[in-house]
């Protein structure tokens, strides 16, 4: 049974930056209001585990339950959220800079989720494809730090021990991604837990080795790649 105190250890496990530097500086200029997309509730509403919520509210005033502009919208999102989690909103990036230790697991993991193959093995990391056009990291998978990848795998192994139902959640999410990418005739980029890079063929889940530089850029980052001005982000 998970306890609020378990989140101290989980936060310590997943305390690695995704890339060198602050990727928010690269995506924020492309979002109205200059906020990183994953910190803007118009684009992404984080969820926390109920025990994580209990851990956070004892230590920080950073988070509050998420309420939409209309009761109907609030009810809809709460209904879509698994019963063992709740949708939340933080006090913004200034508060986050002051209270870094209280970023949620979702904040620390974004834009990645654990990828499961068809038989149900946790193979590594892939990303929430809905953010392909906005998230700078998704367009720069070759920049993901090995230490982050390792920490992510260790953290999610621990989460699956605490919340066994999460294996099914992410297995379903992986199946959904195979279905979506299959329809688009695309392969799925995988940062494998063995340290390698692969393409996953959606039809049968077959892995094909990849070079990290092969992974495509999307949205505005694809445009920028073809317009190399000197002050573009590295
Ligand atoms: S994870 Fe993606 S969306 Fe979030 S700050 Fe980094 S680049 Fe922006
Ligand atoms: S806590 Fe920080 S990283 Fe998480 S959504 Fe808020 S501003 Fe973004």
Query: For residue range 63-120, what is the model confidence (pLDDT) as tens digits?
Result: 999 998 899 989 998 898 999 999 999 999 999 999 999 999 999 999 999 999 999 9
Could you tell me where the DSSP H helices lie in 60-198?
71-80, 93-98, 105-109, 146-162, 165-183
Residue whose Cα lies nearest atom 5 of ligand 2: it is 39
Token code pair at residue 17: 């930056």
CA of 204 to the centre of ligand 1 (A): 30
Task: Reply yes or no on whether the pLDDT at 231 is more than 80.
Answer: no
Residues ≥6 apart with Cβ < 8 Å to 100? none
Question: What percent of the chain has pLDDT above 70?
Answer: 97
Whose atoms come closest to the Cα of 36: which ligand? Answer: 1
Is there an atom of ligand 2 within 6 Å of 180 CB? no
Q: 153 in ligand 2 pocket by Cβ < 6 Å?
A: no
Nearest-ligand number for the alpha carbon of 64: 2
* Average pLDDT in the chain: 95
Confidence of residue 227 (pLDDT cuts 50, 70, 90): confident
Answer whether 124 contacts ligand 1 (Cβ < 6 A).
no
The two counts, helices (H) then strands (E), for the chain are 9, 8
- Band the pLDDT of 225: cuts 50, 70, 90: confident
Determine whether the shortest distance from the Cβ of 144 to ligand 1 is under 6 A.
Answer: no
Tell me the whole-structure pTM to 2 decimals: 0.94
C-alpha span between 139 and 209 (Å, rounded):
18
- How far is the C-alpha of 2 from the C-alpha of 38, rounded, in Å? 26
What pLDDT digit, counting tens, does each position of 127-168 carry?
A: 999 999 999 999 999 999 999 999 999 999 999 999 999 999
Residue spans of the domains in the chain: they are: 6-225
Beta bridge partners of residue 114, listed in sequence order: 125
Q: Whose CA is nearest to atom 4 of ligand 1?
A: 38
């Amino acid at each position: 049974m998970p306890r609020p105190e378990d989140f101290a250890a989980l936060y310590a496990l997943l305390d690695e930056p995704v890339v060198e530097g602050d990727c928010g500086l690269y995506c924020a200029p492309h979002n109205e209001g200059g906020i990183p997309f994953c910190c803007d509730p118009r684009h992404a509403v984080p969820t926390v585990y109920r025990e994580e919520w209990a851990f956070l509210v004892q230590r920080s005033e950073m988070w509050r339950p998420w309420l939409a502009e209309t009761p109907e919208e609030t009810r809809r999102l709460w209904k879509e959220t698994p019963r063992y989690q709740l949708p939340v909103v933080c006090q913004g990036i200034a508060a986050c800079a002051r209270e870094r230790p209280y970023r949620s697991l979702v904040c620390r993991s974004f834009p990645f989720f654990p990828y499961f193959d068809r038989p149900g093995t946790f193979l590594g990391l892939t990303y929430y494809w809905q953010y392909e056009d906005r998230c700078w990291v998704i367009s720069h998978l070759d920049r993901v730090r090995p230490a982050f990848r390792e920490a992510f795998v260790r953290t999610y192994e621990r989460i699956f021990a605490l919340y066994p139902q999460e294996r099914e959640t992410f297995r379903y999410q992986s199946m959904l991604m195979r279905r979506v990418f299959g329809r688009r005739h695309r392969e799925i980029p995988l940062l494998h837990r063995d340290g390698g890079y692969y393409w996953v063929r959606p039809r049968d889940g077959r892995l094909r080795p990849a070079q990290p530089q092969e992974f495509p850029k999307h949205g505005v980052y694809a445009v920028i790649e073809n317009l190399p001005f000197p002050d573009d982000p590295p």
